[in-house]
A and B are shown apart, each in its own frame.
Chain A
Amino acid sequence: MESGGFDHVEFFRALEASGARVLLIGRQALIALGLPVNTKDYDLWIHVDDAAAVNQATAPLGLVANYTPELARTRGRYVLENSERVDVLVARSVSTVDGVMVFFDDVWSRRERVEIAPGVSVALPCLDDLIVTKRFGARGRDADDIQMLEVLRSRRT
């Protein structure tokens, strides 16, 4: 157990064991891919039918959902929180700042898995899709992150 009472490996283990379709997005995904950025929050994009499974799996870690799965689905997002904060997108599709609709099922079909600890892994959008997800929030730091992701992409090709 980490200081602070939250074990991120157990968090990912619980998500994986739930069988829910969960994508790690946001800066934690960037870090997993190799970008040296800072963040304290976890950002997930989950399938619209899987909020209950995610909530049930993470409840033993003390994470509490701020909306019921039904209400979360209506709103398109919710938060799991205790001393940590997990922002959860729960939508079939999300619009970028340019109005381009991005569909969960498409991103999920192209996902990549990364190992978090022995026997524990999490799904990430592929690099191209991760760049697109950075256009959802459209904050200044998302633009900066896209520039870094594009540098990383150019290095891979």
Chain B
Amino acid sequence: MPPRFRMPSDEAVAEARALAERRLSAEEFNARVNAPLTEEERAEMLSLIDWFMRRYPTPAARLAQARQSYLAAERLRKAARGSD
């Protein structure tokens, strides 16, 4: 049986969030933007974009799907918190 998923602690979430929200310096930011993509990475991005636009062909459908995904993730998060 696979191990049961455990929600990370509030502290770990806060730490990850702070890292993700950190404003980079211009040098750091430009280095990341200008990091060359491999052909494989580029093809994968295009493939994802193509799939997303085929599956959800209008902006309305895409935004609605994103909203539904978020709400579903929230429900899962709350359920996992409730079962801790």
Contacts and interface: CB of A to CB of B under 8 A. Distances in A.
Interface of A: 2-4, 8, 28, 31-36, 38-40, 97-99, 114-117, 135, 137-144, 146-148, 151-152, 155
A31 B62 contact: yes
Interface in B30-60: 30, 32-33, 35, 37, 42, 45-46, 48-49, 51-53, 58-60
B45 A148 contact: yes
Q: Per DSSP, are chain B's interface residues mostly helix, strand or loop, or mixed?
A: helix
B22 interface: yes
Interface of B: 20-26, 29-30, 32-33, 35, 37, 42, 45-46, 48-49, 51-53, 58-60, 62-64, 66-67, 69-71, 73-75
Contact of A135 (B29, B53, B64): B29
Contacts of B52: 34-36
Contacts, number: 91
A36 B21 contact: no
Given A2-B71, A33-B59, A155-B46, A147 B20 contact: no
Contact of A139 (B20, B45, B51): B20
B46 to A, nearest CB: 6
Contacts of B29: 97, 135, 138, 142-143
Contacts of A155: 46, 49
